[in-house]
Amino acid sequence: MALEEHSLSIVIVGHVDHGKSTLIGRLLYDTGSLPEEKINEIRIASQTAGREMEFSFLMDHLEEERQRGITIDISQTFFNSDKRKYVIIDAPGHKEFLKNMITGSSQAEAALLLLDAAEGIRDQTRRHSYILGMLGLRQVAVIINKMDMVDYSKERFTALSDEITKILNQFNIQPSVIIPISARYGENVARPSESLKWYAGPTVLQALDNFSALEVSNKSLRFPVQDEYTIDGRNIVVGRVEAGYIRKGDNVEILPEGDRLSVLSIEKFLENDIKMAEAGECVGLCFDKPATRGQIVVSNGNQIPRITEKIHANIFWMSDSSYKKGEPVTFKCATQEVNGRINNIYKLFDPATIEIVDNDAEEIGAAEIAEVEIILEKSVVVDSFNEIPEMGRFVLEKMGHPVGGGIIL
């Protein structure tokens, strides 16, 4: 079987000590993604500490290398299944993780939420569930780890499954599967477990393979216009196809105005007679009417974009100086840029605890998260982050500097 081209980005979250590093180490080891020398290093380190293989050492080791600048790739860990490549996105504290997710420097397509079978649900389990919900992540598998510490008890597993499902449901997440494992002994990680015979579901690796990649090419067209040029008397607009595809001869719509245009030609550097461009491609398009930066070219598909002056969003405040309700900000989404202000701060969260610190607040401070309403001077075209990420996230600027990032609800 040929590997899929796309590598799926996953994030592994859970309360401290519930086994994230061990699970990552296991996934790397059991999928043969570790060089022999690394395995030997962990073996020696484990023996020195008087243990069998201690997989969490691997992550400590990688972390140490990262800090000393040895590993080139600083934030990502890779492994393969028979089906595809996986990238594990680092979830370094909530603050950084949230910021990276919101500003789009990392985009998790699926999540594993880890739970210690002996300890059960803890504060961070709840917070992480909340964060996954807030980010609109819908592909979530729950992993109940350290089953070896509870005698592989089916009763314990069922009780915890019920409890975590209730919590996740509150945040609109339906876990795709709940898997009992022992990361330490590699049970149900990449191979089924003898001790967990009562469980008939997928292993962690199979559950990952069952997730689907975030496919933007089979969605409706979104082409934010970046620039327009006149070349040899012809109007050419350039941009990146963010979702769907566009073909020569297509009848498309340009938003927010709603005019109809037809595609006379598609232009790419050093290529002739192009019939089609799809998500991810940067192209020039020649239309029968002019189009300008900030407009969004769309097709009538199943995803209908929202055209609105009111944005309801979760934002992450990145600036050191705080924001007072009503101050002017510039809203930037794809190539759209519109002035506006935050009109309502419905909820303000402490970024470390994800606890609500204020309802109907007046101010947002450094690194705080808030659920807000933004009022714009002019309509913009947006989608839900979950459907088309590039059209569902935005940056807020003050005097040309980014001060916040957000996800449209």
Residue 84 in contact with ligand GDP, rule: CB under 6 A = no
Measured from the CB atom, the residue of 146 and 156 that comes closer to ligand GDP is 146
Q: Do residues 371 and 406 make contact, with C-beta atoms less than 8 angstroms apart? A: no
Radius of gyration of the CA atoms of the chain, in A: 24
Contacts of 50 (CB under 8 A, 6+ apart): none
Q: Do residues 177 and 202 make contact, with C-beta atoms less than 8 angstroms apart? A: yes
Residue 125 in contact with ligand GDP, rule: CB under 6 A = no
Query: Which of 148, 368, 371, 387: binder of ligand GDP (CB under 6 A)?
Result: 148
Cis peptide before 256 (omega within 30 of 0): yes
Measured from the CB atom, the residue of 54 and 109 that comes closer to ligand GDP is 54
Query: Which of 94, 146, 156, 219: binder of ligand GDP (CB under 6 A)?
Result: 146
Which among 9-17, 63-71, 75-83, 263-271 is the span making contact with ligand GDP, rule CB under 6 A?
9-17
Measured from the CB atom, the residue of 21 and 129 that comes closer to ligand GDP is 21
Q: How far apart are CA 301 and CA 97, in angstroms?
A: 33
Which among 14-22, 192-200, 255-263, 286-294 is the span making contact with ligand GDP, rule CB under 6 A?
14-22
Residue 20 in contact with ligand GDP, rule: CB under 6 A = yes
Number of H helices, E strands in the chain: 8, 24
> Quick check: helix, strand or coil at residue 3?
coil
Sign of CA dihedral 21, 22, 28, 31: negative
Binding string, residues 175-194; x marks residues near ligand GDP by CB under 6 A: -------xxx----------
Q: How far apart are CA 395 and CA 187, in angstroms?
A: 43
Residue 123 in contact with ligand GDP, rule: CB under 6 A = no
Which among 18-26, 83-91, 288-296, 326-334 is the span making contact with ligand GDP, rule CB under 6 A?
18-26
Measured from the CB atom, the residue of 21 and 203 that comes closer to ligand GDP is 21
Residue 18 in contact with ligand GDP, rule: CB under 6 A = yes
Q: How far apart are CA 49 and CA 105, in angstroms?
A: 37
Residues making contact with ligand GDP (CB under 6 A): 14, 16-22, 54, 56, 145-146, 148-149, 182-184
